[in-house]
Amino acid sequence: MIIKIPKGTNIQVDGFKVKNGSKYAYFNIEKLSYDIRKPLIGKNTSVISAWQRLTRSNFKQIKKPTYLNYYSAIKSSRKLYNKVIQHSGSLWEGTRFPANYKSVRNDRIRITNDGYLEYFENFPYAYRVSGKPAYTEKLLMQNMRLLESI
């Protein structure tokens, strides 16, 4: 399945590699907003992350937007066989992670890489692709200033 990412969409790169003289970037579609990831919902797919070849025509490095400072506490780490562990950036209600998290549901909030605040009600802790949020809002510059003050 091919997912078209609109021009100008901010994407957080989770890794780089060079293969046959070409540079590739690794990113996770799940970290983007609902409208972009919607085609993956309900599909039996194992690929929500991808290595994309970097060229000047398809990617441009930019200064990190303020709202992505939210992701600075999230780390990716390499394991055996060059696999990368991805963290979703979600904030869950509660004081502890449930022992049997695969059967538990709770409210969840997150900021997507492309600048949307998403709120999910009664959402499962274990998921492949996030469904439709109960509430979503594009973050605007005035909202960014609020995030900086938090």
pLDDT in the model for residue 74: 46
How far apart CA 36 and CA 118 sit, in angstroms, is 13
Asked whether the predicted pLDDT for residue 19 surpasses 80, the reply is yes
Q: What is the mean pLDDT of residues 30-53?
A: 79
The reported pTM is 0.71
User: Higher pLDDT residue, 49 or 82?
Assistant: 49
Average model confidence (pLDDT) for the chain? 75
How far apart CA 115 and CA 141 sit, in angstroms, is 10
Residue 31 contacts residue 112 (beta carbons within 8 Å)? yes
